[in-house]
Structure 1
């Protein structure tokens, strides 16, 4: 299949305006399945041409089949990614006389009004903005979406792995009923371990009977990347290394927390390095300015959380640096794919570990990557809270809906089908939904809890911790964890934000605003984190293999080798090639499973009679009651694999499950328990031999 299969006007501009002599394999292979209307997942690393692989055939289909109105939705997980894509897609559309526009929370009301008056051919948006269009009274969605044919979901793996994916699928099903036809679904993804399953997930109610294609050219292996693992021991040492290494180059540095981004950014600026910052708690203007300037600059560094892991264009990078380790191989591949774009260059990444434990986990991740493993993307199970949210959203969308038809709005997509009846009954009984005869509408309790700002809180499926907006005069800098404003201190209250230190001058507690002035005495950065957390089974087991002597297939500096050797010596009593270890150290008895947080939580619940309940499980071990003997252990674990239990849930964890208050408590608890469990990992560990030992000095 060649470029000639595309619309003539488009093919002309690809050759003459872009100067491309040919298409990439991904772009060539995607043409035929997309033109015939298949659902598809297109896989390639960052900057692999996925956007063009999707949009060139779809623009051609738009011409050949004479689509009118909003015929293509292009959905992204981040507004910044949409902003970045808009100029490029507008250029492609203009070659064929087609319009591409943007709709999300930062788009002005006047721009939205113009879109409603004169519908574009392609609309770029987020799932939350799409939901807002459906439930709001400003958009005549029956008319606006009448011509919709195709939905492109960029970074689809980022959706599929959490509740935003369930929300997206449910909204797409409602949207297909609005426009009266099934929608072609095209997902763009980085490398994942289960692309066929990801495609079936994306099909929604069409899974099993709609045609689908995975387009995935061969990816480069470990030998085609330049990776180095180093140990530096502190943020200051990392800043010193970064200020002296790779001078004249453009470097993107990833950190695993916003606080670490702030600390490293400040330390780099103190050393005279031109440094920019990007993370979710910086204001939109602050991030845009940093990313725009960085894209054009040389000899500089941008320090970021995972916000720059996705496909936002920050120009031509020379090098990626990873502080400590990302949480998955898939995340590492995204970051690695930021480099090696110029002819003659190779993908590269320098790991700088700030402490011994981080070095060990970085080595484990790189060892796992070297085996060719990539995590499968799996939707979180039992999204009952999203079912409750969707039932409320449907009532808002329709104004009133028949009780018999309410569960048909998602075209049989599980769990939004007839299995949702207990949730609907609860919503009716509690007053979230009102019933008048055979019609249902939004109820007084939903009005009370979610009705602020025209129910805007209902369009987002995550509960974000409260944060204060920080201002220098009228300029907004970003968001601050309120604990920094309430903890006990002596002297002035100093904070660190946007890589600079500030003195808090006044706090408006009612409006959650904090006003600051510049101060060079050094401040603190902190943000609370949510989620169930913890490392997975495969990564934790890979760390265990490193402790057992396996090395990652990368260059390891002498100082990193020395620290790894020390770690292996320190942990030698916790690992054994023939199974797991139960080790007594003084009065402490611990089961070293090296199996990951969810596996250990499942094991601790299953073996609750053996477990010391005063301590929380972690990624690598479970504390056992001190009086447990070999005989007691053997008896208690003999049939454990046949009676695996879901983990126990702390009531406080329900606060992080948005819309859990719209569920019966037992269903909310069951949802979190199912998500915390790893039954397969627990069964695997219970099938291994267990050795008992003692730590001797």
Structure 2
């Protein structure tokens, strides 16, 4: 039996400080329930809402195990998806470790050479890092990776759901398998996550090649897991949906509401963050900005000032969605809608932390698409539905990257022994064609049965440090923007190109301010600026607006058929929804999907999401317009289509669903494409663009033909 507070399972020194230094009477439910399995060496996924005490739930039992087992050297890794979260956690974890006479180190891309040398010289017990920095340590000639990681016992993966949904997750798992082989023992894996739709699958994924062979459990007290009957009432919180029609109107509303409070505003793109910030400043609002193209110093200054201020607004992309502490928030405001319910839960969870306050969010939608997506997302949230986390399929390019990285790490790898570095990890089970391609194209050389880095890898990924090999995603080129010696951020080079005669000087909008460009160093990719009154422009080429999922687009259809989200709607939102329903009245049908025919324009209103529509277009080749840009709501069909031809085309189509076609341009966005055979690179990307189940659902639905 444990005490009511659960403190008896902690090391006595740690328990003393929890009560006397932190002032806690006991541990939270998640922290109590995680103690026994984590102290006993089990793998686990810990689920709790934002600010649910997940970090302590993982670190306290592992610090206790560290003391009981006499762990030495770098014995615990704490991995985060973003550097800012590591910086934010460092003081707290140093305090906890210091109570136990243990140390914490930090290693990521912004950590200087002298600080890294200290880590290598005075090995910390806990190392805070990112997957890319771990990879960098493994391939670096300056790091004795076998010695550094010899004492590794456990790894905590914070925001594990953020990793599992993209290629960084596969990269992380592959690196953990290599670390496990280096230290010669199983490494305990603990994932921290907000609510997800499939926690058991997430745990199995985190266990990698050890899934099914190592004990593991999901710890989620008080969290409604899948399979439970959803409550009749929507989740608690104060949520309101408004329609404002433009970013300028959104600025007016934000400036007028909640004066004296601390407000965090989320936008769906860096461009919108900049434009909204520039619109708020003239209205007397103290405003700070945060997004990925601002310099690290600029973001830190903004976040620190925001944390200390009271009557202010910080405008951000998803960079502040994760658990970075920006102080005690009063309000969250969402411009348009996030792409997932999980993101909304993260964002609304930043509020309601003070006693007597409730979680809250105000949606300010700018157009019909934003209003419908927000309404649909809130309907899913009202049903207590959260997206399952699905690892990206067929990550062959990660296999290629890992094979090259292993050759760098070990210098020489047996051509029949490379598989032993990733035992049981699914993507590596069919790596032979990739190894053959790497050899054929010169990325890898063979000598006496040993594999080593070849000249093509050096030419493609860097002659000296192979930095391109440590990151699994591709970022578009950007120019560093400098005011004197101060870096402000990075800008799209298209904004720096020559202007038309009479247009005046080039002006950028960055950090919410306008800047006049004074000089561009094209060779070194830098530009120098001076403050300007106004006229700055912001633009980035990355895909800020991703297509919606099948579930979210189906919920949009529900809204158009008359279902309202279970939140307060302003009069403007009610009116705008009525107009949207009237405009789409012929595009939705309770019995299935709709095909509308107008002169020169035949559309199949699927409401199935971008990936399902791409899959349907490939499956119905010859009927669907191959040149149509991907959309969530409809597919354009052949002009001469009639019900008979439609019925014939759909006959048996659900049993022969085809993967989308892949363009050369799309392949360029898949990093390490050059290290894959072309047909495998195309298959990988096609699998990622597909929604086979969504496409089948539409092919099995009834269809009504109308004349529009």
TM-score range (shorter-chain normalised) is over 0.9
* Aligned equivalent of 2:20: 16
* Aligned equivalent of 1:311: 323
* Aligned equivalent of 2:671: 658
Please report the TM-score for the alignment, with normalisation by the length of structure 1: 0.98
1:157-208 CA-partner distances (Å, limit 9, x unpaired): 0000000000000000000000001110000001110000000000000111
Written as runs of structure 1 = structure 2, the 5 A alignment for 1:360-379 is: 360-379=372-391
Decide which of 477, 499, 503 is 2:488's aligned counterpart.
477
Do the aligned residues in 2 keep the contact of 1:309 with 1:331 (CA within 8 Å)? yes
1:274 matches 2:278: no
1:287-339 CA-partner distances (Å, limit 9, x unpaired): 00000110011010000000000000000000000000000000000001000
1:397-429 CA-partner distances (Å, limit 9, x unpaired): 001111111122112311113x10000010011
1:422 matches 2:426: no
Distance 1:304 1:532 in 2: 15
1:441 matches 2:459: no
Distance 1:143 1:648 in 2: 47
Distance 1:212 1:15 in 2: 29
Decide which of 271, 274, 277 is 1:265's aligned counterpart.
277
* Aligned equivalent of 2:513: 500
* Aligned equivalent of 1:93: 97
Distance 2:641 2:301 in 1: 60
1:40 matches 2:53: no
Distance 2:598 2:86 in 1: 54
* Aligned equivalent of 1:184: 188
* Aligned equivalent of 1:599: 612
1:336 matches 2:363: no
With 287-296 and 405-414 compared, the bigger mean Cα shift is at: 405-414
1:9-58 CA-partner distances (Å, limit 9, x unpaired): 00000000000011111111110110111100001111111000000000
* Aligned equivalent of 2:227: none
Q: 1:223 to 1:657 in 2, by over 3 A?
A: closer
Decide which of 494, 497, 500 is 1:486's aligned counterpart.
497
Please report the TM-score for the alignment, with normalisation by the length of structure 2: 0.97
Do the aligned residues in 1 keep the contact of 2:47 with 2:195 (CA within 8 Å)? yes
Q: Secondary structure of 1:294's match?
A: helix
* Aligned equivalent of 1:460: 471
Distance 1:532 1:638 in 2: 34
Distance 1:69 1:407 in 2: 28
Unaligned runs of 5+ in 1: none
Question: After TM superposition, where is structure 1 displaced by more than 4 Å over at least 4 residues in a row?
Answer: none
Decide which of 150, 163, 172 is 1:146's aligned counterpart.
150
Distance 2:553 2:703 in 1: 18
Distance 1:356 1:200 in 2: 40
Q: 1:223 to 1:388 in 2, by over 3 A?
A: closer
Distance 1:357 1:495 in 2: 28
With 404-413 and 385-394 compared, the bigger mean Cα shift is at: 404-413
C-alpha root-mean-square deviation of aligned residues, in Å? 1.1
Distance 1:250 1:533 in 2: 29
Decide which of 533, 538, 562 is 1:525's aligned counterpart.
538
Residue 371 of structure 1, CA deviation: 1.0
Do the aligned residues in 2 keep the contact of 1:507 with 1:514 (CA within 8 Å)? yes
Decide which of 516, 527, 551 is 2:564's aligned counterpart.
551
1:59 matches 2:59: no
Decide which of 577, 592, 611 is 2:590's aligned counterpart.
577
Distance 2:352 2:698 in 1: 40
Distance 1:531 1:279 in 2: 12
Distance 1:606 1:194 in 2: 29
Q: 1:234 to 1:532 in 2, by over 3 A?
A: closer
1:75-103 CA-partner distances (Å, limit 9, x unpaired): 00001000000000000000010001101
Residue 264 of structure 1, CA deviation: 0.3
Do the aligned residues in 2 keep the contact of 1:492 with 1:503 (CA within 8 Å)? yes
1:5 matches 2:17: no
* Aligned equivalent of 2:228: none
1:617 matches 2:617: no
1:91-150 CA-partner distances (Å, limit 9, x unpaired): 000001000110111111111111111111100000000001001111111111111000
With 524-533 and 81-90 compared, the bigger mean Cα shift is at: 524-533
Decide which of 394, 398, 414 is 1:402's aligned counterpart.
414
1:200 matches 2:211: no
Q: 1:402 to 1:223 in 2, by over 3 A?
A: closer
Distance 1:530 1:178 in 2: 38
Written as runs of structure 1 = structure 2, the 5 A alignment for 1:61-140 is: 61-140=65-144
Distance 1:40 1:296 in 2: 36
Residue 247 of structure 1, CA deviation: 0.4
Distance 1:308 1:191 in 2: 18
* Aligned equivalent of 1:690: 703
Distance 2:400 2:640 in 1: 46
* Aligned equivalent of 1:170: 174
Residue 531 of structure 1, CA deviation: 8.8
Distance 1:532 1:249 in 2: 30
Decide which of 236, 252, 277 is 1:240's aligned counterpart.
252
Distance 1:236 1:531 in 2: 20
Distance 1:224 1:378 in 2: 27
Do the aligned residues in 1 keep the contact of 2:594 with 2:604 (CA within 8 Å)? yes
Distance 1:357 1:538 in 2: 16
- Count of residue pairs the alignment pairs up: 694
1:351 matches 2:355: no
Do the aligned residues in 1 keep the contact of 2:208 with 2:424 (CA within 8 Å)? no
Residue 521 of structure 1, CA deviation: 2.5
Q: 1:532 to 1:379 in 2, by over 3 A?
A: farther
Distance 1:488 1:39 in 2: 58
